[in-house]
């Protein structure tokens, strides 16, 4: 059993959560986005999006600005400098994981050896 | 950030694959809304269509010509007002707002710039000796292309074909995400359709008497822009559906 497959890089847990990852992915594709667009594109509820944005702001990954436009609050969100580097690191980590998984798959296919216990997906319940 | 936790504790293979697909959609839609080009392009296309088609249908005389100019002028004003105000407001109200990211210059831009420099260097220093051989060929080619594009006698409009060709090949990349692949097929459709219109006109001179061919040929660029703009807009509507249960208030 090889040791290198066990030494996989771990993705940042804060970013890896699907809702937060979706928000950060959107923000990494633009300079800033408002609350309405984020809600539409991520298909999150208002409450869930607010909570996730607060978590990301507390972690220093996003910057939230609020302004009053036509007597309504307009919330604009952008990635902070730390957020930019963290999301880049996250995708780099995921690429490394994918590369290692592909390598492992390639190693298993020629000999048709039994899969390692850790790699067998659990049956859906 | 490396740990020695077993693989099954760290990730789920299918989740990663699923996430990748979804993130392509997120990135694509964000860029699409950030460019705000859909309705702007369609409006510009309508204006171009209106400016080209009356002449092709031989309506360009007398009061009709004046009316066409007047409508064109009003259309141009509407285009600028809509592009600056109405369309951005509509996009913001319907989909929210995105400020487009500044595109950093990539290594490909640098390579392209370097290639141009090298080409200039080649032309300046060794262009003279090969000019003798290349000049007749290039001038014949350019003259032929010019004749095909703008010869009033033949009346074949190749600009739409060139436009679709440019859009199709500029969208080609080594890896095209699945959501952008649909757009590539759409562009391929235009790339096939508009040259066919031109080829039909070249092969059948009688086509120049048919009003439908005249409209498609003369208004090809406008029509292409309308189709492309509406396509982008429909993609936005389909990928950013309005949720009936909740309003968009924050």
**Listed range (A25-39, A53-67, B55-69, B98-112) with the worst mean pLDDT:** B55-69
Min distance B186 CA to chain A CA atoms (Å): 23
Confidence of residue B153 (pLDDT cuts 50, 70, 90): low
**Among the partner residues A10, A28, A101, nearest to B1 by beta-carbon distance:** A10
B159 has pLDDT over 70 = yes
Ranges of beta strands (E only) in B84-217 are 98-100
Query: What pLDDT was estimated at residue B5?
Result: 47
What is residue B4's predicted lDDT score, i.e. its pLDDT? 42
Note the pLDDT tens digit of each residue in A39-84. Answer: 998 888 999 999 999 999 999 999 999 998 888 889 999 999 999 9
Q: Write the burial class of residue B152 (CB in 10 Å: 0-12 exposed, 13-18 middle, 19+ buried).
A: exposed
| Chain centroid, CA B118 distance in Å | 29
- Which top CATH class is A13-107? mainly alpha
* Helix B13-35 with A18-28: angle, nearest 10 deg: 40
Percent of chain B with pLDDT over 70: 78
Q: Answer whether B13 sits within 8 Å of A101, measured CB to CB.
A: yes
How many residue pairs from chains A and B have C-beta atoms closer than 8 A?
125
Task: Assess whether pLDDT exceeds 80 at residue B17.
Answer: no
Where are chain B's structural domains?
12-239
pLDDT mean across residues, chain B: 78
Cβ pair B218, B52 in contact under 8 A: yes
Domain ranges for chain A: 13-107
Task: Select the residue of A43, A93, A118 nearest B6 (Cβ to Cβ).
Answer: A118
Please indicate whether, in this complex, the C-beta atoms of B30 and A9 are within 8 angstroms of each other.
no
pLDDT at B102: 74
Contact flag B8-A119 (C-beta cutoff 8 Å):
yes
Q: Using the beta-carbon criterion (under 8 Å), do B249 and A119 form an inter-chain contact?
A: no
**pLDDT given for residue A125 in this prediction:** 38
Q: Who wins on pLDDT, B141 or A116?
A: B141
Q: Worst-scoring range by mean pLDDT, A10-14, B70-74, B229-233?
A: A10-14
């Amino acid at each position: 059993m090889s040791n290198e497959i066990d030494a996989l890089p771990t993705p940042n847990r804060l970013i890896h959560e699907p809702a937060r990852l979706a928000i950060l992915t959107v923000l990494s594709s633009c300079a800033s986005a408002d609350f309405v667009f984020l809600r539409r594109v991520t298909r999150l509820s208002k409450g869930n999006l607010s909570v996730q944005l607060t978590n990301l702001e507390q972690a220093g990954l996003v910057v939230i600005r609020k302004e009053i436009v036509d007597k309504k609050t307009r919330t604009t969100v952008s990635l902070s400098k730390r957020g930019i580097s963290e999301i880049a690191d996250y995708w780099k980590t995921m690429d490394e994981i994918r590369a290692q998984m592909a390598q492992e798959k390639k190693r298993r296919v020629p000999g048709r050896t039994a899969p390692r216990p850790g790699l067998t997906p659990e049956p859906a319940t | 950030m490396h740990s020695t936790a077993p693989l099954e504790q760290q990730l789920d293979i299918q989740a990663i694959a699923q996430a990748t697909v979804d993130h392509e959609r997120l990135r694509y839609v964000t860029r699409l809304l950030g460019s705000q080009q859909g309705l702007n392009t369609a409006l510009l296309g309508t204006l171009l269509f209106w400016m080209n088609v009356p002449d092709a249908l031989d309506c360009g005389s007398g009061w009709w010509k004046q009316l066409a100019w007047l409508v064109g002028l009003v259309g141009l004003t509407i285009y600028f007002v809509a592009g600056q105000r109405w369309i951005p407001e509509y996009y913001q109200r319907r989909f929210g707002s995105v400020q487009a990211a500044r595109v950093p210059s990539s290594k490909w831009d640098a390579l392209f710039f370097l290639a141009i420099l090298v080409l200039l260097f080649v032309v300046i220093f060794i262009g003279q000796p090969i000019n003798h051989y290349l000049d007749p060929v290039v001038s014949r080619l350019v003259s032929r292309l010019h004749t095909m594009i703008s010869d009033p006698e033949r009346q074949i409009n190749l600009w739409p074909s060139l436009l679709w060709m440019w859009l199709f090949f500029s969208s080609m990349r080594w890896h095209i995400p699945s959501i952008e692949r649909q757009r590539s097929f759409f562009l391929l459709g235009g790339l096939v359709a508009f040259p066919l219109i031109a080829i039909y006109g070249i092969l059948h001179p009688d086509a120049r008497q048919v009003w439908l061919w005249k409209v498609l040929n003369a208004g090809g660029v406008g029509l292409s822009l309308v189709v492309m703009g509406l396509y982008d807009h429909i993609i936005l509507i389909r990928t950013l559906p309005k949720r009936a249960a909740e309003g968009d208030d924050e």
